[in-house]
Structure 1
């Protein structure tokens, strides 16, 4: 059995974690991961070279996000994912729900805005347009405002499950290597677009309050659980691609599908916990900053009132003299 240029998978040995993590180096995602780490690292070095700081935690989060993408796409998990629904579901859940959260916690947009130089003005005084200006213009564009609005992100997040797996589109994409890669890029992009306004780390056009962010999160997560339950309760294979797994793997299609459903159902809880912790952390420190700002305003107003009162007393003493 050959799946879209991935090589012959009929003779794959039974899946084990050790075999699944063997490095295969899928070229498209390998180049993308290396390039992402190089660009991020270069930006951090540029900031530090001019004396500016950058939180280590953000660098660690972004690095882990890139490594999770490489884990599911540049190892044998990608080969087994072509013939095992359960392994494919691990790829889908990681690249669409865990990797985007870690990447967004790394605040790559904020880093780019700080690291990219301003274009300045030309000899004639006209304002130039550089990479930083293009990025700022994009962040404020109607296009970004539309694709980060909940009325777009939540339906897109849900449709990536039901409109893909329960239609012939999934089998068509899995039939070729470009189609499979395009589907994985789609999963990653949908995760980034969905979690970007919820995480609120990088600047963006849609920044609701913390309560609304939590509501947006919980509006999409239950559909992952329902999708997993639907797979587990099915009495026959629902996806043709995985209807006849190779005999060398020693699993039945129905068992494999049930395992895939269980993974989709259980994995929906992981990003919810991570995002909630991040939101509570941001909310707490936001309240702390506002409290300190109010204290500074109160101190300044108090000093002004005290100065005015002292001036008033001094005027009274002058009148008595």
Structure 2
């Protein structure tokens, strides 16, 4: 049970969840701002020197940082102590929505292109390259790791009520959010990253990974929608005065998982199928001339063979 539940005397509105108060923004929220500033500084420095840098990638990274900040720096962060919906929104945003946007911004490439390769910058570049080539990175980017992370992040936390222990631990809430962001980036890298990776899964493996994650989220969302109130000890009390019940709160959080949480994975499936088809068409185009030449050669061989057989038959008939 949440011992710090606030006394509520008015109906909860959407505006309450998106309010901004500079004094209540946690460190994780300010970290999103710092990453945004650093990325934009790097992109602008490249443009100022006349060097190319992707505008779509920059927009993607900016949107990722904004989603990250929205989940941690706005009013929803304060209400996560009292509403399952608010907490699930934070988790989905940091684990499922923000990582793809951040990864498609190619922050690794930007780091290597903007960091000086002399002085202290040399050690930053060496550390980044060493991390990219490390055995640990190779293991973490296995597609099965993403599936294990998805199971631990949602069913593992909620079905065992471990989420209540996390919320009751001082600093547990913010630590969980930071961990989910990191795990979301690790799990999403094989599917979304444009930076060079130590391993690149096949299109088939990407399809399997995305499909299994969809099923995990679907099961988790369905349980939240259909479960009775009081499923989680931290959220066992009714949110009286907000015009909602705990059962509605849990059901709404499950609906978020079914919609908001599934959309990025559906995009992965569509994108992967499209890339797979494009790859096959490209291979077929390159293969067609070689296959045609081989077929012509084989047909010429058959023609010569039949011509030889015909001559042999004529010779035997003449004899």
TM-score band w.r.t. shorter chain: 0.7 to 0.9
Length-normalised TM-score, structure 1: 0.80
Q: How many residues are aligned here?
A: 286
Q: Is the 8 A contact 2:224 2:254 kept in 1?
A: yes
Corresponding position of 1:316: none
Corresponding position of 2:127: 134
- Cα deviation for residue 287 of structure 1 reads 7.5
4+ runs deviating over 6 angstroms: 1-4, 284-292
Q: Is the 8 A contact 1:224 1:264 kept in 2?
A: yes
RMSD over aligned Cα, in angstroms?
A: 2.8
Corresponding position of 2:64: 65
Q: Is the 8 A contact 1:33 1:67 kept in 2?
A: yes
Q: Is the 8 A contact 1:68 1:99 kept in 2?
A: yes
- Cα deviation for residue 86 of structure 1 reads 1.6
Change (3 A) 1:177 1:248: farther
Tell me which of 8, 21, 24 is aligned to 2:21: 24
1:1-321 counterparts in 2 under 5 A?
9-11=6-8, 13-25=10-22, 26-119=25-118, 130-279=123-272
Give distance in 2, aligned partners of 1:262 and 1:185. Answer: 24
Q: Is the 8 A contact 1:83 1:245 kept in 2?
A: no
Change (3 A) 1:290 1:23: farther
Q: Which moved more, 1:251-260 or 1:222-231?
A: 251-260
Corresponding position of 1:303: none
Change (3 A) 1:187 1:119: same
Q: Which moved more, 1:79-88 or 1:268-277?
A: 268-277
Q: Is the 8 A contact 1:2 1:10 kept in 2?
A: no
Give distance in 2, aligned partners of 1:33 and 1:286. Answer: 36
Give distance in 2, aligned partners of 1:48 and 1:141. Answer: 31
Q: Secondary structure at the match of 2:171?
A: helix
- Cα deviation for residue 136 of structure 1 reads 0.4
**Structure possessing the higher radius of gyration over alpha carbons:** 2
Length-normalised TM-score, structure 2: 0.80
Q: Is the 8 A contact 1:9 1:79 kept in 2?
A: no
Q: Is the 8 A contact 1:198 1:214 kept in 2?
A: no
Change (3 A) 1:70 1:24: same
Gaps of at least 5 residues in structure 1 are 121-127, 299-321
Gaps of at least 5 residues in structure 2 are 291-319
Corresponding position of 1:318: none
Give distance in 1, aligned partners of 2:130 and 2:48. Answer: 27
Give distance in 2, aligned partners of 1:213 and 1:244. Answer: 41
